[in-house]
Chain A
Amino acid sequence: MLFRRDAVHKILEKRENSAVVTGIGNASHDVASAGDHPLNMYLFGVMGGAVMTAFGVALAQPERRVVVITGDGEVLAGIGSLATVGVERPSNLSIIVLDNQVYGATGGQLTHTAAGVDLVGIARASGIVNSVLIKDQKGLERALPEVYEKPGPYLAVVEVSPQSAPRVDVPKDGTFTARRFRSAINQEIKDHG
């Protein structure tokens, strides 16, 4: 079984100028542990907001890939978002769900995916046609180019072990990370027209 942090690091190796939005919980630490980046927006509050936040960025920045990296519990809390994304079909949005089947931050209680709720099935049935399940290293390697190149909306559920990884130093001040993110985008627009 894949280890969440290794999977996230592997995915981020290819990010180039993509924007990354993380969901509350361990996903923010997984992303930050690969190296802080001005185009990372770390969410530390509210279950269920990551997909829609990234969707807003994707609409505003149609030429840029926007990648959500979040957990199964966080996506389940905003499950209607998948239907909203499926209706609008933003071609530059990719959603990576690290599915460990537990709420890692609150003591490891089981999420609905542990009982068989199928996030890939829900995504496909919602109109996110390019939705895949990644179970191992081979599957991850195969999916990697798709995260950045497959016409979106794209969704990958990555099955990961419930083992958590050490916390890292992540900027938690939303006013700081938000303004840094927006400045980085504005700067790129200025530099590259």
Chain B
Amino acid sequence: MVESVSWSDKVFSVLCEAEVKQVAYVPDAGHQRLIKLCIDYNEIKHVPLTSEQEGIALLGGAWLGGERGALLMQSSGVGNVINMLSVPNECRFPLLMIVTMRGEWAEFNPWQIPMGQAVETTLKAMGVIVLRAAEECLISETVSSASKLAFEGGRMVAVLISQRALGQKDWNK
């Protein structure tokens, strides 16, 4: 049986093709494989953060220094970046964020729901273009489209990967 290529591997290829050189992240189960791929690849500098807002500032600096970057995080982290988005907004820095969603499709943890439900509204309020990937087969092409909007269109863009696409989280696994 041929093992299918995971969305994470496809997104990793998209990031490489887009010449992303800095990947910042706060760990999330949904991003586990993508983070590992970035860590294992010498051409990408990977920066683990204490809080997502550090990543927004880091990627602004990356662009100032002539490099492209991406920020990987969970939906709960979106709340931590809102004020820092003033920096790419004012400076017109390109920004690519890949957000794995919680607090929506079949969420079992009520504490995830407030931020999960507010993600799209708050990002849009700060001027971020929001693209959703509701199914697994759409994730890599959505990231590809977002990277063009970010790096060629010069905009702040977030890809929200639906909990439906990731599969319901199972704590027993």
Contact = CB atoms under 8 A, between A and B. Distances in A.
B151 interface: no
Interface stretch (B5-13, B52-60, B101-109, B141-149): B52-60
Contacts of B63: 56, 178, 182
Nearest to B69: A56
Interface string B15-51: 0000001100000000000000000000001011111
Looking at chain A, what size class is its interface with the partner chain? 35 or more
Contacts of A181: 64
Contacts of A178: 60, 63-64, 91-93
B121 to A, nearest CB: 21
Interface residue SS majority, chain B: helix
B131 interface: no
Interface stretch (B82-90, B111-119, B132-140, B164-172): B82-90
A189 B57 contact: no
Contact of B62 (A59, A81, A87, A189): A59
Contacts of A152: none
B47 A185 contact: no
A41 interface: yes
Contacts, number: 118
Interface stretch (A45-53, A97-105, A130-138, A139-147): A45-53
A42 B85 CA distance: 16
Contacts of A54: 61
Contact of B61 (A48, A58, A83): A58
A18 interface: no
Nearest to B51: A80
Nearest to A50: B57
Contact of A57 (B49, B61, B87): B61
A186 interface: yes
A57 B62 contact: yes
B86 A52 contact: no
Interface residues of B, number: 32
A174 interface: yes
A175 B92 CA distance: 6
A56 B51 CA distance: 15
Nearest to B90: A174
B70 to A, nearest CB: 12
B65 interface: yes
Contacts of A61: 65-66
Interface string A78-91: 10110110011000
Contacts of A59: 22, 45, 47, 58, 61-62, 65, 67
Interface of A: 19, 21, 41, 43, 45-46, 48-61, 78, 80-81, 83-84, 87-88, 174-175, 177-178, 181-182, 185-186, 189
18 contacts: A46-B84, A49-B84, A50-B57, A51-B57, A53-B58, A55-B57, A56-B22, A56-B58, A56-B61, A56-B64, A56-B65, A60-B61, A60-B66, A61-B65, A80-B49, A174-B92, A182-B63, A189-B66
Interface of B: 21-22, 45, 47-51, 53-67, 69, 83-84, 86-87, 90-93
Give me the 10 closest cross-chain CB pairs, A-B, nearest first.
A56-B61, A60-B65, A80-B50, A52-B57, A174-B91, A174-B90, A49-B57, A60-B67, A56-B62, A57-B65
